[in-house]
Amino acid sequence: MDLKRLVRTIPDYPKPGIMFRDITTLLRDPGGFRRAVDELVQPFAGSGITKVAGIEARGFILGGAVAHQLSVGFVPIRKKGKLPWQTIGVEYELEYGTDEVEIHIDSLDKGDRILIVDDLIATGGTAVASIELIREGGGEVVGCSFVIDLPDIGGRARLEEMKVPVRTLMAFEGE
């Protein structure tokens, strides 16, 4: 099964020149969704993962399924101000300004081995901040799994510079 054919490309969204890679078409396909989850898990099976952390919002869908398959807990990584209890956060740079991701202060236990999951790696800003957040919270990042890599933008290289193994299922050229 070619998972790449299940991803819809929407030109000029959210702004002109961007080719948006929409995984909702992959998620609606039962076989495609199952295979994507299996392939996100496969390289990390047996590596002692204790929790999966999913980056808002599509990372919740994929990460929840990955956590279920690994029989481990799930940690939502959310934008600042979205979690209802006490949090820790890490700020990161955007093209114009900054943003912040957070987790609840009790999301991790010291020494937790975490797999971070999201739909796409582009610049890597949110993923880098998520790695820093997990480390600050006392966890060890075992790896990151993404459905899509946009290699021309360089995010994967940023994670690998942080000594974090990266799993992607497909790549698209351009933005």
Residue 163 has what DSSP assignment? T
Task: State the catalytic residue, choosing from 5, 34, 35, 95.
Answer: 95
CATH number of 48-171: 3.40.50.2020
Q: How far is CA 91 from CA 94, 126, 129, 132, 153, in A?
A: 10, 9, 7, 10, 20
58 is catalytic: yes
What pLDDT is recorded for position 96? 77
Known active-site residue 95: yes
> 163 is written with which tokens?
């000594």
Q: What is the pLDDT of residue 143?
A: 98
pLDDT for the residue numbered 1? 81
| pLDDT score recorded for residue 93 | 87
CA distance to 72, 102, 163, per residue, from 125 (Å): 26, 14, 16
In 10 A of CB 161, how many CB atoms?
10
- Rg (C-alpha) for the chain, rounded Å, is 15
Q: Which tokens sit at 15?
A: 């702004």
pLDDT at position 175 is 64
- Intervals of the chain under pLDDT 50: none
Q: Angle at CA 174, nearest 5°, toward 43 and 29?
A: 50
Catalytic residue, chosen from 28, 34, 39, 58, is 58
Q: Give the integer Cα–Cα distance in Å for 87 and 149.
A: 29
